[in-house]
Structure 1
Amino acid sequence: MRKAIYKPPKAIRGGIPICFPQFGSHGSLEHHGFARNRFWSNDTDPPPFPTNSKSFIDLILKPSEEDMPKWPHSYEFRLRVALGTGGDLMLTSRIRNANADGKPFTFTFAYHTYFSVLDIGY
């Protein structure tokens, strides 16, 4: 990660590529959302997440003033990143509507993963 460069508004390369909230056309910055361009905080009061791992971190993302013009909803995006006993990486996401008025809103999100392959001919 030493070669990763963080220069907003571009997404950092590497890490966990979370696309939230997804809106707009495919290929646009909005399609990938803003979560991957934000600093997340340690979640000091996480809800119970089922996990068999002893090695994990709980993260939380809440809206910022910068998000409001394009995404006028209050939310809490919680993410547990856990390392399994066999070295497997496990991600558990929970997104909560935190709007004071309780009105529902629609959203989509995705993990935009990249896999290293030896030969794309298969």
Structure 2
Amino acid sequence: MNNSSFQVQAIDWQGLPAITLKLAQGDSILLSLQGAQVLSWVSGGKERLFLSPKAAHDGKSAIRGGIPVCFPQFNQRGPLVKHGFARLSQWLADAAQPLGEDGAQITLRLTDSEDSRAVWPHAFDARLTLQLKPGALIVQLAVHNRGQQDLPFTAALHSYLRVPQVEQASLHGLQGLTYWDAAAAVPDTHITQQGAVRFGTETDRVYPRAADALQLQVQGKDQGQPWLQIAQDAPWSETVVWNPGPALCATLNDMQADSWQHMLCVEAAAINAPVVVAPGQCWQAAQHLTAF
């Protein structure tokens, strides 16, 4: 489909069905129908997401990188497959639509099936809407309870952000917040962030959602501008910050040994307490990424 402000095309990505959406101005995204996963976001002529060169593409395994959708379970906090079945499922795409004069949006949908109900007995409709405008990407997850009982879940947008060199990057806006450190030898829930978050060893932290947008700074960026600004809607209750560091990265089969140097996950999450959606109701929340 061609439009004066955007082009959309169904393509094959490494043997998997995918969609490209490109604005007339030049910004673009690449989406895999497996998991409704954003694999690439190019803005200002630069790739803004990290996708591992060794990412799986067998249609059965999780794809390492981009923006995986964790639903209806985060990590291994429950009985389901790690990070839930949504990122392993095939989603359906609606037709792309114009967004203002210079943007576009596309929605992908996942509904309950015999397979999903066998492991998670809930009737639901999940929608991932991607809004692309010059210099900005908004990723919104919406979950509608189609059943007769409350629908509890945990979720996250597991965004892998590309950075030139993570040891020269810093994340601002979390100072003063108390976080849970999952990478500590003895996980500690009472550590207060002092100043910006910096990286070099394994980082795996769960913060409460900050009131204001976070600023990801990289060395050499002109005029003190951030590399990316990251904000999340209030229904997300936490922010997860993760980088495997060199030791853990070396053990991950779908990462190169130096991949940790070029990525940083800053995730919009609702994980410490399950979201509970009443019958017939809908929950939705977005992560807002702005490139500079």
* TM-score bracket relative to the smaller structure: 0.7 to 0.9
Would the aligned equivalents of 2:67 and 2:160 in 1 still touch at CA under 8 Å? no
Go from structure 1 to structure 2 and tell me whether the alpha carbon gap of 1:111 and 1:23 turns closer, same or farther (over 3 Å shift): closer
> 1:18 aligned to 63, 69, 76, which one?
69
Go from structure 1 to structure 2 and tell me whether the alpha carbon gap of 1:121 and 1:12 turns closer, same or farther (over 3 Å shift): closer
Distance, in Å, in 2 between the alignment partners of 1:24 and 1:79 is 19
Identify unmatched segments of 5+ residues in structure 2: 1-12, 15-52, 168-198, 202-292
> 1:9 aligned to 60, 75, 78, which one?
60
> 1:65 aligned to 114, 131, 148, which one?
114
Q: Among the aligned pairs, what percent are the same residue?
A: 38
Query: Does residue 1:93 correspond to 2:123, yes or no?
Result: no
TM-score by length of 1: 0.74
Q: CA RMSD in A?
A: 2.9
Distance, in Å, in 1 between the alignment partners of 2:74 and 2:133 is 33
Would the aligned equivalents of 1:23 and 1:30 in 2 still touch at CA under 8 Å? no
- The structure having more radius of gyration, on CA atoms, is 2
Identify unmatched segments of 5+ residues in structure 1: 45-50
Pick the structure with more strand per residue. Answer: 2
Go from structure 1 to structure 2 and tell me whether the alpha carbon gap of 1:106 and 1:29 turns closer, same or farther (over 3 Å shift): closer
More RCO (CA 8 Å, sep 6+): 1
Go from structure 1 to structure 2 and tell me whether the alpha carbon gap of 1:20 and 1:111 turns closer, same or farther (over 3 Å shift): same
Higher mean alpha-carbon deviation, 109-118 vs 51-60, is at 51-60
Would the aligned equivalents of 1:62 and 1:77 in 2 still touch at CA under 8 Å? yes
Structure 2 residue matching 1:96: 3-state secondary structure: strand
> 1:84 aligned to 113, 126, 133, which one?
133
Distance, in Å, in 1 between the alignment partners of 2:58 and 2:114 is 19
Distance, in Å, in 1 between the alignment partners of 2:134 and 2:153 is 33
* 1:48 aligned residue: none
> 1:103 aligned to 106, 126, 149, which one?
149
Structure 1 residue matching 2:114: 3-state secondary structure: coil
How many residues are treated as equivalent by the alignment? 113
Go from structure 1 to structure 2 and tell me whether the alpha carbon gap of 1:57 and 1:31 turns closer, same or farther (over 3 Å shift): same
Distance, in Å, in 1 between the alignment partners of 2:60 and 2:76 is 18
Would the aligned equivalents of 2:74 and 2:155 in 1 still touch at CA under 8 Å? no
Go from structure 1 to structure 2 and tell me whether the alpha carbon gap of 1:114 and 1:15 turns closer, same or farther (over 3 Å shift): closer
Distance, in Å, in 1 between the alignment partners of 2:118 and 2:139 is 29
